[in-house]
Amino acid sequence: MTAAPQWINGLMDTLGAPGAGLAIALENLFPPLPSEVILPLAGFAASTGRMSLWAALLWTTAGSVIGALALYGVGALLGRDRTVAIAARLPLVKTRDIEKTEGWFLRHGTKAVFFGRMIPIFRSLISVPAGVERMPLPVFLGLTTLGSALWNTAFVMAGYTLGANWTQVTDVVSTYSKIVLALAAAAVVAFVAVRLLRRRPASSEVSESS
């Protein structure tokens, strides 16, 4: 059973629904913060009268949008040229990898921004390439607001319905988060392994020719 960090309780006790929104904004900027705890806890708080249900839904969604907008701004400030230059310095990363990613985002960016709001870690990271590619701001805000509202409403309502048993929600979402992280880690390992295997024949050819 997952307990709520004391600072989250403190924010909600002091600020009410805006405190829940602030916690969610911080979760967007610092993904390790537990949204799977914040959202159902806000629902539980609403069920006890510490805040209204509508306020919890509105403020948590506003927090999601504000956090995503801040990361969009980071991507916009970086720009494509700086992003490519930074990526080119990373081991095993090639410029064509960035170009492929850019092409994929241009084709599927709207779906990625919308559905990305429902995937741990990814919901924060997806805002950066949206800024780099300068996705039209009204489109970004619309997709982010809609995706965040759906995700947040599901978990706030779950906490509201379960009441004192709200931690049951966090156990389920924590398992989901761990699966997503495991798949992401496996993808990174596979990328590194393939890239290293492709470099090895080239290295052996150079040594044989010498």
For residue 118, give the amino acid letter: M
Q: What is the pTM of this model?
A: 0.74
Q: Each residue of 63-119: pLDDT tens digit?
A: 999 998 998 988 888 887 777 676 666 655 566 656 666 676 778 788 888 888 877
pLDDT at 144: 92
Q: What is the residue-wise DSSP string for 135-202? A: --HHHHHHHHHHHHHHHHHHHHHHHHHHGGGTHHHHHHHHHHHHHHHHHHHHHHHHHHHHHHHHHHHH
Top-confidence residue, 4 or 100:
100
How confident is the model over 143-161, as a mean pLDDT? 90
Q: Is residue 33 within 8 Å of residue 27, measured between CB atoms? A: yes
Q: Each residue of 21-74: pLDDT tens digit?
A: 998 888 877 766 667 778 888 888 888 888 899 999 999 999 999 998 998 988
Q: Each residue of 129-151: pLDDT tens digit?
A: 888 888 899 999 999 999 999 98
pLDDT at 129: 85
**DSSP assignment, residue 32?**
T
Q: Tell me the three state secondary structure of residue 112.
A: helix
Mean pLDDT, the chain, as a whole number? 77
Closest CA to 72 of 35, 109, 126, 147: 126
